[in-house]
């Protein structure tokens, strides 16, 4: 076997291509007229830079602090870990300590590091479908089996169905709430039931709350942090990217027990050594100074969510169905006799719309993905959402 042919057998070779990058290739060479520019609802990332005061704070830090350009602690800077612990404590009505937190180079790295620390070759992690594709990709590349947990019409996972999937190789159950790609907010009671299930079987419950700041509910979305010994079962994941528009600076976080963080530290030290200093400073400054600004951002996202709900009757009249809605996402079932990946490509040229098909969030064996699409609406204002609906309701295949 040649070296080149061996590449076909590697874990990256057997992992699907990054979906957002794949979708971007669909628009290469396509011209969009000035009166019908591309509506890009493929990616859940702010397209605007951080607000000017935060950018100024970042610039000042880069210019005046030598530490901005040096290595820092592998698990993140102590002041940011302390502030994160304090804010988690306030938000969830709990007592979380700085040593129970860590800062990572983005939330994807937090997930990858945790998986590396809790799994071995051939282990299993239960993943509700539709899944967040980067979670599935990392499990594939890590040699960990992703055990599919199909959700119901409401896109909520069933704890009893999850219990039936647990084997002696299961190491964790991974949830995302508010959900990516479905948008749905998991009820506190459901999250608690999954926690109890994981604890009873000696598993970790991973809860990715990247979109927590845009949850429509007031107060804590669950009570897991208030439970005695929560850190022996819960691995909480978070991202500063969406809250403070820091996507390019890659600042994420996790919270769990200190012993597990010591294992996670090995992974982080090997992969990135430490999170970027300017991004960490930006996250800290944002947490300490931008609470009112962030409240305004949340209000705007919730208004755009309302605009999606208000506009759906237009699409429902054409046979579309809303399956999930929340935070940055609307997850829809389309009415066409066409697989969603083919539909998504056709929408680029026929409607000037770039979205992701459900096939990117489902195993190939699950036919439901061929009927579903994800719309990442956070970067569209009400007028843009209206334009999007106008184009989709005119589509006919």
Domain count, the chain: 2
How far lies 187's CA from each of 155, 221, 227, 264, in Å? 12, 7, 17, 29
* pLDDT of the residue at 78: 97
- Residues 277, 346 within the same domain: no
Residues 104 and 244 in one domain: yes
Residue of 256, 254, 290, 225 whose CA lies nearest to 91: 225
| Confidence tier at 397 by pLDDT (50, 70, 90) | confident
CATH number reported for the structural domain that contains residue 124 in this entry: 3.40.640.10
Q: Do 309 and 244 reside in the same domain of the chain?
A: no
User: What's the pTM?
Assistant: 0.94
Query: What's the whole-number mean pLDDT along residues 33-40?
Result: 93
Q: How confident is the model at residue 341 (pLDDT cuts 50, 70, 90)?
A: very high
Name the least confident of 19-23, 53-57, 95-99, 367-371: 19-23
Asked if pLDDT for residue 14 goes beyond 90, the answer is no
Domain identity same for 184 and 116:
yes
Between CA 214 and CA 294 the distance in angstroms is: 9
Domain of 45, in residue numbers: 3-49+293-394
Q: Are residues 45 and 60 in the same domain?
A: no
pLDDT confidence bin for 47, thresholds 50/70/90: confident
Average pLDDT (21-30) is: 91
H or E segment to which residue 76 belongs: none
The closest of 211, 122, 208, 232 to 169, measured between CA atoms, is 122
What pLDDT does 68 receive? 92
């809250």: which residue's tokens?
243
Mean pLDDT of 162-171: 98
The pLDDT tens digits for 271-304 are 999 999 999 999 999 999 999 999 999 999 999 9
When the pLDDT of each residue in the chain is averaged and rounded to a whole number, the result is 95
Boundary (domain end) residue, out of 268, 290, 312: 290
Query: For 240-281, what is each residue's pLDDT tens digit?
Result: 999 999 999 999 999 999 999 999 999 999 999 999 999 999
Instruction: Using alpha carbons, select from 17, 49, 21 the residue that is nearest to residue 379.
Output: 49
Name residue, tokens 């076909």.
Answer: 8
Closest CA to 227 of 93, 99, 118: 93
- Residue count of the chain, please give it: 397
pLDDT band at 12 (very low <50, low <70, confident <90, very high): confident
Strand-pairing partners, residue 101, are 255
Domain ends where: 247, 275, 290? 290
As a whole number of angstroms, the distance between CA 283 and CA 72 comes to 15
Predicted confidence (pLDDT) at residue 180 exceeds the cutoff of 60 = yes
């Amino acid at each position: 076997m040649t070296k080149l042919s061996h590449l076909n057998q590697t874990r990256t070779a057997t992992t699907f291509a990054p979906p957002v990058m794949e979708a971007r290739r669909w628009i290469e060479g396509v011209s969009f007229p000035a009166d019908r520019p591309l509506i890009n609802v493929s990616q859940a990332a702010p397209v605007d830079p951080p607000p000017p005061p935060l950018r100024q704070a970042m610039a000042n830090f880069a210019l005046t602090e030598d530490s901005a350009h040096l290595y820092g602690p592998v698990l993140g800077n102590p002041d940011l870990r302390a502030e994160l612990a304090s804010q988690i404590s306030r938000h969830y009505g709990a007592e979380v300590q700085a040593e129970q937190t860590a800062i990572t180079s983005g939330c994807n790295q937090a997930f990858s590091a945790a998986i590396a620390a809790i799994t071995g070759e051939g282990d299993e992690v239960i993943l509700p479908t539709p899944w967040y594709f980067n979670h599935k990709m990392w499990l594939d590349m890590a040699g960990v089996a992703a055990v599919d947990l199909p959700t119901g019409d409401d896109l909520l996972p069933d704890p009893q169905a999850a219990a039936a999937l647990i084997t002696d190789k299961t190491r964790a159950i991974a949830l995302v709430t508010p959900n990516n790609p479905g948008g749905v907010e998991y009820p506190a009671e459901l999250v608690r039931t999954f926690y109890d299930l994981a604890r009873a079987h000696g598993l970790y419950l991973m809860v990715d709350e990247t979109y927590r700041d845009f949850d429509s509910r007031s107060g804590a979305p669950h009570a897991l942090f208030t439970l005695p010994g929560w850190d022996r079962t819960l691995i909480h994941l978070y991202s500063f990217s969406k809250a403070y528009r820091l996507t390019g600076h890659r600042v994420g976080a996790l919270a769990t027990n200190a012993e597990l963080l010591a294992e996670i530290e090995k992974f982080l030290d090997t992969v990135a050594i430490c999170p970027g200093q300017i991004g960490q400073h930006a996250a800290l400054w944002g947490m300490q100074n931008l609470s009112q600004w962030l409240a305004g951002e949340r209000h705007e996202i919730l208004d755009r969510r309302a605009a999606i709900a208000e506009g759906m009757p237009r699409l429902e009249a054409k046979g579309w169905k809303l399956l999930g809605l929340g935070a940055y996402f609307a997850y829809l079932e389309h009415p066409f006799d066409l697989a969603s990946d083919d539909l998504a490509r056709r929408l680029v040229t026929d409607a000037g719309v770039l979205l992701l098909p459900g096939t990117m969030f489902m195993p190939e064996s699950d036919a439901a993905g061929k009927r579903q699409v994800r719309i990442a609406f956070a970067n569209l204002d009400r007028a843009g959402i209206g334009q999007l609906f106008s184009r989709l309701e005119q589509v006919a295949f």
